Amino acid sequence: MFVEKFKAGRVVAGAVVMALALGLSGCGSAPKEDPNSQAALDKLYADAKDDLNAGSYDRAIKTLEKIEGRAAGTTMGQQATLDVAWAYYRTGERAQAITTLDRFIKLNPSSPAMDYALYMKGIVNFNEDLGLFGRLANQDVAERDQQASREALLSFRQLVEQFPDSKYSADASLRINFITNTLAAYEIHVARYYFNRKAYVAAANRAQSAVAEFQHAPGIEEGLFIMAESYDKLGLDQLRDDARRVLDKNFPDSQYASGNAGKRKPWWQLW
């Protein structure tokens, strides 16, 4: 009888010791926070914003990419993607920024931030001098690539057409005018370049292309004049007369108009 009671006591004591051990173990380590919880994501995003504000873009990108993966399909995930694009842009990684924005545009066609994504894509591609007025002597003007400027123009136009009431549309419209006028000036510059080198076919074709694409740009009057002069050099009298007629009709006060031939400055000079 005594033996049975002793055994029972040992069982109870063992259970108590195990319970105490489990309790102490529980007190020794706090439960792990779910990395996908809203609180954890909020903290990650706050850290990323601090890094962005401090200019630590590489570190911010790594944090934001974690948020993209954990918060995919949410507003926070979309914002993280846009912030990643901005960070790439700030670090000079234009191609990475464009790739990120293209992914956002493709995956979030109905996002309320679509206007901002288009605007940012335009900004990333936008270059105020467009490669036209800087370092002209160091590169053949006919070899310059204006594709980025054209991509910016497409993005800004899409923004203005799809989101006319967007707070970014007014600035986009100004940039559209700037890019249009400067691209036209670039095309006319190339046409003039060809003309000065007696490449009259290339000059006429480039000027004609500019006139067709940028009909309302200021440089088009010179484009028409280069067309007329090039056709004259090529002996294409009908095409020459057509170009002059369009020039005289649309720009009667132009220095290039037929009635102002004696007042022209040396238009063929580069500057």
Higher pLDDT, 59 or 254: 59
pLDDT at 238: 97
- When divided into structural domains, the chain yields a total of 1
Which sign does the torsion angle of CA 90, 91, 95, 98 carry? negative
- Is residue 64 one of the residues assigned to a domain? yes
The boundaries of the domain holding residue 65 are: 38-93
In sequence order, which ranges of 94-162 are alpha helices (DSSP H)? 94-107, 114-125, 147-162
Contact yes or no for 83/117 (Cβ under 8 A): no
Q: What is the pLDDT of residue 268?
A: 45
Residue 84: inside a domain: yes
Kindly state whether residue 185 falls inside one of the protein's structural domains: no
Residue 113 has pLDDT above 70, yes or no: yes
Transcribe 45-71 into DSSP letters: HHHHHHHHHHT-HHHHHHHHHHHHHHT
pLDDT, tens digit (0-9, with 9 covering 90-100), for 7-50: 545 544 455 444 444 444 445 555 566 766 788 888 989 999 99
pTM here?
0.74
Contact 71, 77 (CB under 8 A): yes
- Rounded Cα distance between 231 and 244, Å, is 10
Dist. CA 56–CA 49, nearest whole Å:
10
CA angle 173, 175, 180 (to 5 degrees): 100
Does residue 53 form part of some domain? Answer: yes
In a domain, 106, yes or no: no
Domain presence at residue 189: no
